[in-house]
């Protein structure tokens, strides 16, 4: 078996290797990144000039990364004296143009991917023999102050060493630049002499001009040249009054970030998910982060800790003072947080809110922080109901921050819930530094300086957000707006807030306002901020209000030519080539290729779409072959490698039997595409069967729910078919199907079936690009006899320890077991679990044959 695989892999490697050698027929002879930051607004232009050295025409690619926070505002290609400009259009118009091209058989989609902070932009064009092309991309972003600094991230990866490679950054800050630093993977010793940093009072410049040799030899660089980030870090000087106000052309931008204020004690409650999906590194990193956070609490802070799965575990029922002793005790609680069980977000957040509501502390800043990695699966699971419960409980009294761990959280749900409660949601990337990300987020809100901040602008209009529940040290409040009739004389900014128990007012004592900003810039800042906030607001609204906000954001995006989630950029290419449509991906958007894109990946049109996508599912564990008819398996492979194509290998499906008292579950394998009895409930005439997949290891290919004598519901990975007597209707949309008896809702990765008190979810998982189903009985029928795999209770066994073998005793039967692992597909983000491997006959309370049916 090994031999065959190795041969195949070698073949692939060779193919790659030979493919690489023929690419030296084009040359980037200029690659420039110019960034101009004025008053925290960064405009970056990437220019790449490429020559086709071949005798024939060639497709040339332009491929760069830009910050997620940025909006692309311009893109053009210049070739043969012609300029091809990108035009920002509504999604519908762009789509129309795209579809039209598709129907002419021209189309293709190239998907772009997104990292933690960057999005990928990719396009290509055919360049005639010995001709050149210039690509020019412009993007704009408002730098956000966190931890006392602004950061501009520049990603440099031209794909080749470039003779004329330059990064130029210019910073103009009227308030004065307090420090500037260059960081990132490219700021290493080997490249130190390529970086020049100049710092004047109000201006700074960073130049990065690596030689061709340096581009090949730096860390993470190679024959393909540079590959890394340059991060420019700086902060500005600030007074302790009203801050920095700029006006120009009837617009103003106000940066408010006083730092020499006394800190306000916190009254903070952490609500920590300890459901089964937090298993492994996630829960460990959460513990680590919490220990650091507890260490950093000040003596006059109060804090509470709640962990939850389907139940709620308090450390103390009310927030306590962060004395040394209390912090030590809380650490013990943290170290003992163990994962397992389902996720009752509703109950947990409401309990956190209750703790803060019933123990408010005057003169302190209350904060509620939720950390979760999954969807609510128990208790109240309707997202809207949870949101409305939470909103009602918090009633604007304190902010709720939601940290979504990994990619299986419904980030939009968390985002909405945070926005509804004056907070923000943040994604924690499942990575080795997740504990630092958690701590980093906490540090952002660790030092409240003001609460109930109201920004007032007499003579101002069309203001961006003016009310902020809290202001933290190291952050910044930014407000932009128009000045009525550009009447700067009347325009009076003022800030009213509460600073440790007393009301404070900041006003412009010296009357200074900087009006020397270049034309049009503040207007763009205003538009940028307004669009960002409208997009957030839109999330919270519905119906006509949502439409109105949507329309406003769309109009501004079009007017200022921003590629936002509401607009697309259409790039019309030279005759004979395709038009391209560029979309901005949504944070955390699943990388679903639309079906028309799936077939057309090889071409030249792209959708600017998020590819990061679902985390790769854990691999199925190695089989314990001793207990299975392995000889068959081996004989398939040991004959010859060409065999692989003709005989399918047998497929295994591993099942988990959860055990009582937190002991390891039992697991067993089922071979082949058998049909299983999942749930039979004769008293309500509900029969659910499923057939296992015959091609991939994992789960079910199809599940059929028979309801009474009237309805059969067939669920597969792509949709639902509902058969009522003689008629069958196919559903692939997300509209609920409701009959007088049951409801079926098909969502993205889950189909929900509700019949009286029965609640069944059918999850769709993906492994190696193949989808399969996994059923979960969220609520069993309350009365009557039930049969089937889903109706089984947890097993309760006894471990009989012996020296050489491990023996497990279950209901007076004993068997040897081996430690193995299995993937729990019963949750939306599958996790790997350790288990005792045994046979189905041993693990199940009845003979295996009792769980087989002959017909779906
Ligand atoms: C940067 O922007 C400022 C203000 O918009 C402008 O005065 C300056 O000329 C620009 N610098 C460069 C190098 O484009
Ligand atoms: C390219 O053109 C030159 C001169 O016309 C010719 O000598 C050479 O063989 C051509 N190369 C290829 C790869 O066609
Ligand atoms: C706020 O941050 C500044 C600068 O980092 C620091 O000097 C100041 O002490 C901080 N204030 C408090 C209350 O921690
Ligand atoms: C700005 O406000 C005025 C009214 O104060 C309104 O007429 C105008 O449409 C607004 N402009 C924008 C771009 O929203
Ligand atoms: C902002 O706060 C002030 C005072 O607290 C209040 O009067 C006003 O209605 C608030 N505005 C918004 C838009 O919430
Ligand atoms: C397991 O839990 C059951 C009750 O659910 C209890 O009777 C039994 O003693 C527990 N066994 C162990 C080993 O804790």
Round to whole Å and give the CA distance between 400 and 398: 7
d(CA 258, CA 246): 17
Q: Say which ligand is closest to the CA of 45.
A: 1
Establish whether residue 198 lines the binding site of ligand 5, counting it when its CB lies within 6 angstroms of any ligand atom: no
CA 817, chain centre distance (Å): 39
Q: How, if at all, do strands 118-127 and 165-172 pair?
A: unpaired
Is there a single domain that holds both residue 481 and residue 498? yes
How much is the pLDDT for 6? 34
- Rounded to the nearest whole angstrom, what is the distance from the C-alpha of residue 462 to the centroid of ligand 4? 6
Q: Are residues 775 and 674 part of one domain?
A: yes
Out of 529, 547, 576, pick the residue that ends a domain: 529
- Tell me if 208 is assigned to some domain: yes
| Judgement on whether residues 777 and 683 belong to the same structural domain of the protein | yes
752 belongs to a structural domain: yes
- What pLDDT shows up at residue 706? 92
How far is the centre of ligand 3, averaged over its atoms, from the C-alpha of 831 (Å)?
42
Query: What's 366's domain CATH number?
Result: 3.40.50.410
Ligand 6 atom 3: the closest Cα is on which residue? 661
Is residue 288 domain-shared with residue 172, that is, in the same domain? no
Domain boundary at 504, 529, 554, which? Answer: 529
pLDDT for position 144: 95
Cβ within 8 Å of residue 811, ≥6 positions away: 845
| Rounded Cα distance, 743 and 711, in Å | 12
> 262 alpha carbon to ligand 3 midpoint, in Å?
9
Distance 802 CA to ligand 6 centre (A): 21
Q: Does 462 sit in the ligand 4 pocket, CB within 6 Å?
A: yes
Q: What is the pLDDT of residue 319?
A: 95
* DSSP per-residue codes, 189-228: GGGGGGEEEEE-SSEEEEEE---HHHHHHSTT-BTTB--E
pLDDT band at 103 (very low <50, low <70, confident <90, very high): low
Residue 602: pLDDT band (50, 70, 90) is: very low
Mutate to test the pocket of ligand 3, among 237, 473, 499, 500 (most ligand atoms within 8 A of CB): 473
Local confidence band at 511 (pLDDT 50, 70, 90 cut-offs): low
Cα(294) to centroid(ligand 5), Å: 34
Task: Say how many C-beta atoms besides its own lie within 10 A of residue 89's C-beta.
Answer: 19
* Chain segment 728-770, per-residue pLDDT in tens: 888 877 778 888 889 998 888 899 999 988 999 999 998 878 8
Measured from CB, residues less than 6 Å from any atom of ligand 3 are 148, 259, 263, 447, 473-474
Q: Which of 435, 55, 491 is nearest to 242 (CA)?
A: 491
> Domain holding 114: CATH number?
2.60.40
Q: In terms of pLDDT, which residue wins out, 713 or 590?
A: 713
DSSP 10-25: HHHHHHHHHHHHTTTT
With 0-12 CB in 10 A as exposed, 13-18 as middle and 19+ as buried, what is 791?
Answer: middle
DSSP 484: G
- Name residue 807's beta-bridge partners: 800, 816
Residue ranges making up the domain that contains 169: 5-236+566-587
The alpha carbon of 154 and the centre of ligand 1 are apart by a number of angstroms equal to 18
Instruction: Please state, in angstroms and rounded to a whole number, the distance separating the CA atoms of residues 281 and 285.
Output: 6
Q: How far is the CA of 36 from the centre of ligand 1 (A)?
A: 6
Q: Cβ distance 829 to 764 under 8 Å?
A: no
Tokens matching residue 501: 């128990």
pLDDT of residue 472: 96
Q: Kindly tell me the sign of the dihedral angle through the C-alpha atoms of 48, 54, 55, 60.
A: negative
What number is the average pLDDT over the span 332-341?
90
Distance CA 397, CA 204 (A): 42
89 in any annotated domain: yes
**Ligand 6: which atom is nearest the Cα of residue 661?**
1
> Is-contact 583 609, C-beta < 8 A?
yes
Q: Is residue 343 part of a domain?
A: yes
Structure tokens that stand for 545 in this block: 């209000």
DSSP 489-544: TT-EEEEEEEETTEEEEEE-SS---B--PPTTHHHHHHHHHHHHHHHHHHHH--HH
The total of structural domains in the chain comes to: 4
Q: Which ligand is nearest to the CA of 149?
A: 3
Tokens of 593: 């290729």
10-29 pLDDT, tens per residue?
Answer: 333 333 333 333 456 888 98
For 186-227, what is each residue's pLDDT tens digit? 888 888 889 999 999 899 999 999 999 889 887 778 888 888
Name, of 182-186, 511-515, 530-534, the range with top average pLDDT.
Answer: 530-534
Measured by CA distance, the residue closest to atom 14 of ligand 1 is 36
Q: Is 396 a pocket residue for ligand 5 (Cβ < 6 Å)?
A: no
Strands 831-837, 666-671: pairing kind: parallel
pLDDT of 575 > 90? The answer is no
Q: What is the pLDDT of residue 781?
A: 87
State the Cα–Cα distance between residues 604 and 395, nearest whole angstrom. 51
pLDDT value, residue 178:
95
Question: Does the pLDDT at position 639 exceed 70?
Answer: no
Residue, of 579 and 437, whose pLDDT is higher: 437
Instruction: Give the mean pLDDT of 96-116.
Output: 51
**Domain end among 529, 546, 575:** 529
Scan for tokens 């499923």, then name that residue. Answer: 690
Please measure the distance between the N-terminal and C-terminal CA atoms of the chain and give it in whole angstroms.
34
Q: Does 785 lie in the same domain as 734? A: yes
C-alpha 599 to ligand 3 mean position (Å): 56
Judge whether 739 and 747 are in contact, CB under 8 Å: no
Mean pLDDT of the chain: 82
Asked whether residue 499 falls in the same domain as residue 632, the answer is no
Distances in Å between the Cα of 447 and the Cα atoms of 127, 223, 400, 441 are 56, 47, 16, 12
Whether 604 and 108 have beta carbons less than 8 Å apart is answered as: yes
Q: How far apart are CA 123 and CA 132, in angstroms?
A: 16
The 3-state secondary structure of 388-414, one letter per residue: HHHHHHHCCCCCEEEEEECCCCCHHHH
The model's pLDDT over 448-475, given as tens digits with 9 standing for 90+, comes to 999 999 999 999 999 999 999 999 999 9
The per-residue pLDDT for range 643-694, each reduced to its tens digit, is 222 234 567 788 998 888 778 889 998 887 888 999 999 888 899 999 998 8
Say what the pLDDT of residue 582 is. Answer: 64
Structure tokens at 758: 């029965």
Q: What is the pLDDT of residue 121?
A: 78
How much is the pLDDT for 514? 76
Separation of 463 CA from ligand 4 center, angstroms?
A: 10
| Ligand 4 atom having least distance to the Cα of 484 | 5
Beta bridge mates, 32 = 47, 166
How far is residue 835 CA from its own chain's centroid? 30
Checking if the pLDDT of 48 tops 60, the result is yes
CA of 440 to the centre of ligand 3 (A): 16
Do 340 and 428 reside in the same domain of the chain? yes
Statement: residue 328 has pLDDT above 80: yes
Q: Which of 148, 236, 240, 260 is the best mutation target for the ligand 3 pocket, counting ligand atoms within 8 Å of the beta carbon and taking the most?
A: 260
Cα four-point dihedral sign 343, 346, 351, 356? positive
Ligand 6 — pocket residues by CB below 6 A? 660-661
Residue 578 pLDDT grade (very low, low, confident, very high; cuts 50, 70, 90): low
DSSP-assigned states of every residue in 589-656:
---PPPHHHHTTTTSS--B------SPPPPPPPPP-GGGS-HHHHHHHHHS-GGGGGTSPPP-EEEEE
Name the residue among 516, 515, 518 with its Cα closest to residue 483: 515
Q: Please tell me the distance from the alpha carbon of residue 424 to that of residue 444, in angstroms, as a whole number.
A: 12
Of the listed ligands, the closest to the CA of 460 is: 4
pLDDT value, residue 375: 85
Ligand 1 pocket test, pick from 518, 519, 522, 525 with the greatest ligand atom count within 8 Å of Cβ, gives 518
Rounded distance between C-alpha atoms, residue 230 and residue 197, angstroms? 13
User: Does residue 554 fall inside a structural domain?
Assistant: no
> Is 757 in the same domain as 829?
yes
> pLDDT (tens digit, 9 = 90+) per residue, 392-419?
999 999 999 999 988 778 888 999 999 9
Beta pairing partners, 652: 671
Instruction: Taking the CA atoms of 624, 628, 630 and 631 in sequence, report the sign of the dihedral they define.
Output: positive
In a domain, 557, yes or no: no
Closest C-alpha among 184, 200, 197, 183 to residue 237: 200
> Is 547 part of a structural domain of the chain?
no
- Contacts of residue 763, Cβ cutoff 8 Å, sequence gap at least 6: 749, 750, 773, 774, 775, 776, 825, 826, 827, 828
Q: Pocket of ligand 5, candidates 420, 465, 466: which has the most ligand atoms within 8 Å of its Cβ, to mutate?
A: 466
Q: How confident is the model at residue 559 (pLDDT cuts 50, 70, 90)?
A: very high
Q: Is there a single domain that holds both residue 462 and residue 484?
A: yes
Residues in the chain: 856
Do residues 222 and 89 both lie within one domain? yes
453: three-class secondary structure by DSSP = strand
Which residues, in sequence order, are CB contacts of 713 under 8 Å at separation 6+?
704, 705, 706, 707, 720, 721, 722, 723, 744, 753
Q: Is it the case that residue 509 has pLDDT exceeding 70?
A: no
pLDDT confidence bin for 586, thresholds 50/70/90:
low
From the list 160, 126, 134, the residue with the least C-alpha distance to 56 is 126
Ligand lying closest to the C-alpha of residue 466 = 5
The residue whose CA has the least distance to atom 11 of ligand 1 is 36
729 token code pair: 């209707």
Average pLDDT over residues 629-640: 24
- Shared domain for 307 and 408, answered yes or no, is yes
Q: Give the percent of the chain with pLDDT over 90.
A: 43
d(C-alpha 426, C-alpha 406), whole Å: 11
As a three-state string, the secondary structure of 63-103 is EEEEECCCEEEEEEEEECCEEEEEEEEEHHHHHHHHHHHHH
Confidence of residue 372 (pLDDT cuts 50, 70, 90): very high
pTM beyond 0.85, yes or no:
no
Predicted local confidence at residue 803, as pLDDT:
57
Report, as an integer, the average pLDDT of 787-791.
91
400 CA distance to ligand 5 middle (Å): 19
On the 0-12 / 13-18 / 19+ scale of CB atoms within 10 A, 416 is: buried
pLDDT of 608 above 60: no
Task: Report if residue 535 sits inside a domain.
Answer: no
Ligand with an atom nearest the CA of residue 453 = 5
The pLDDT of residue 517 is above 50 = yes
Q: What percent of the chain has pLDDT over 70?
A: 84
Q: Is residue 485 in contact with ligand 4, taking CB distance under 6 Å?
A: no
Q: Are residues 84 and 163 in the same domain?
A: yes
The count of other CB atoms within 10 Å of the CB of residue 801 is 7
Give the residue-averaged pLDDT of 107-136. 70
Higher-scoring residue by pLDDT: 815, 772: 772
């Amino acid at each position: 078996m090994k031999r065959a695989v190795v041969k195949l892999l070698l073949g692939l490697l060779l193919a790659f290797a030979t493919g690489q050698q023929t690419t030296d027929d084009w040359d980037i002879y200029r690659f420039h990144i110019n960034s101009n930051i004025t008053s925290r607004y960064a405009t970056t232009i990437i220019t790449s000039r490429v020559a086709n050295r071949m005798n024939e025409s060639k497709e040339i690619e332009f491929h760069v990364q830009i910050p997620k926070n940025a909006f692309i505002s311009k893109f053009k290609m210049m070739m043969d004296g012609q300029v091809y400009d990108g035009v920002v259009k509504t999604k519908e118009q762009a789509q129309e143009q795209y579809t039209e091209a598709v129907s002419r058989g021209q189309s293709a989609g190239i998907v772009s991917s997104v990292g933690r902070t960057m999005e990928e932009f990719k396009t290509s064009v055919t360049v005639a023999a010995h001709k050149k092309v210039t690509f020019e991309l412009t993007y704009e972003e408002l730098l956000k102050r966190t931890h006392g600094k602004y950061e501009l991230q520049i990603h440099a990866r031209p794909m080749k060493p470039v003779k004329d490679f330059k990064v130029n950054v210019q910073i103009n800050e009227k308030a004065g630049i307090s420090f500037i630093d260059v960081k990132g993977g490219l700021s290493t010793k080997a490249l130190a002499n390529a970086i020049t940093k100049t710092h004047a009072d109000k201006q700074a410049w960073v130049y990065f001009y690596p030689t061709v040799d340096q581009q090949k030899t730096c860390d993470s660089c190679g024959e393909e040249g540079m590959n890394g980030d340059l991060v420019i870090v700086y902060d500005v000087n600030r007074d302790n009054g009203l801050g920095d106000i700029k006006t120009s052309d009837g617009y103003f931008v106000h940066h408010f970030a006083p730092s020499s204020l006394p800190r306000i004690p916190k009254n903070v409650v952490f609500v920590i998910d300890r459901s089964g999906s937090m298993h492994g590194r996630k829960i460990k990193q959460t513990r680590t982060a919490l220990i650091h956070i507890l260490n950093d609490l000040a003596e006059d802070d109060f804090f509470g800790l709640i962990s939850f799965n389907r139940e709620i575990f308090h450390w103390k029922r009310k927030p306590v003072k962060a004395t040394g002793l209390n912090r030590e005790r809380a650490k013990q609680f943290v170290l003992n947080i163990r994962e397992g069980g389902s996720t009752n977000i509703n109950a947990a957040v409401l309990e956190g809110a209750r703790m803060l509501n019933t123990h408010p502390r005057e003169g302190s800043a209350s904060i509620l922080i939720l950390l979760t990695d999954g969807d609510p699966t128990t208790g109240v699971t309707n997202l809207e109901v949870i949101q409305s419960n939470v909103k009602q409980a918090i009633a604007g009294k304190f902010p709720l921050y939601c940290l979504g761990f990994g990619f299986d959280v419904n980030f939009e749900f968390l985002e909405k819930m945070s926005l509804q409660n004056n907070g923000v949601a943040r994604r924690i990337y499942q990575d080795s530094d997740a504990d630092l990300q958690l701590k980093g987020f906490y540090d952002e809100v660790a030092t409240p300086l003001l609460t109930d901040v109201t920004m007032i602008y007499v003579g101002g209009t069309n203001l961006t957000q003016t009310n902020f529940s809290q202001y933290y040290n190291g952050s910044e409040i930014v407000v932009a707006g128009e000045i009525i009739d550009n009447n700067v004389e009347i325009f009076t900014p003022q800030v009213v807030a509460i600073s440790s128990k007393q009301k404070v007012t900041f006003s412009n004592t010296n009357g200074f306002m900087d009006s020397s900003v270049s034309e049009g810039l503040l207007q763009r800042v205003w538009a940028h901020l307004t669009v960002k906030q409208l997009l957030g607001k839109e999330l919270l609204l519905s119906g006509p209000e949502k439409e109105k906000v949507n329309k406003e954001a769309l109009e501004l995006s079009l007017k200022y030519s921003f590629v936002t989630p509401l607009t697309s950029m259409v790039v019309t290419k030279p005759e004979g080539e395709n038009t391209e449509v560029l979309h901005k991906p949504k944070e955390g958007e699943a990388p679903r290729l639309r079906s028309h894109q799936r077939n057309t990946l090889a071409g030249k049109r792209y959708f600017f779409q998020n590819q990061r996508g679902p985390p790769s599912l854990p691999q199925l564990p190695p089989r314990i072959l001793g207990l299975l008819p392995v000889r068959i398996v081996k004989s398939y492979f040991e004959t010859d490698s060409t065999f692989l194509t003709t005989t399918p290998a047998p497929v295994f499906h591993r099942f988990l039997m959860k055990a009582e008292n937190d002991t390891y579950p039992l697991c067993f394998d089922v071979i082949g595409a058998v049909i299983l009895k999942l749930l039979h409930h004769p008293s309500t005439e509900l029969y659910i069967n499923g057939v296992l997949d015959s091609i991939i290891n994992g789960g079910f290919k199809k599940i059929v729910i028979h309801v009474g004598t009237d309805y059969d519901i067939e669920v597969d990975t792509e949709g639902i078919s509902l058969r009522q007597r003689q008629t069958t209707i196919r559903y692939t949309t997300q509209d609920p199907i409701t009959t007088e008896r049951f409801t079926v809702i098909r969502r993205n990765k889950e189909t929900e079936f509700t019949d009286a008190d029965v609640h069944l979810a059918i999850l769709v998982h993906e492994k190696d690009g193949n989808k399969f189903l996994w059923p979960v009985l969220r609520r069993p029928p309350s009365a009557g006899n039930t049969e089937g795999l889903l109706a089984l209770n947890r097993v309760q066994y006894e471990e009989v320890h012996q020296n050489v073998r491990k023996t497990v005793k279950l209901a007076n039967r004993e068997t040897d077991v081996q430690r193995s692992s299995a993937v729990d597909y019963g949750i939306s983000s599958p996790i790997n679990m350790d288990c005792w491997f045994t046979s189905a006959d041993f693990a199940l309370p009845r003979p295996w044959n009792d769980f087989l049916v002959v017909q779906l």
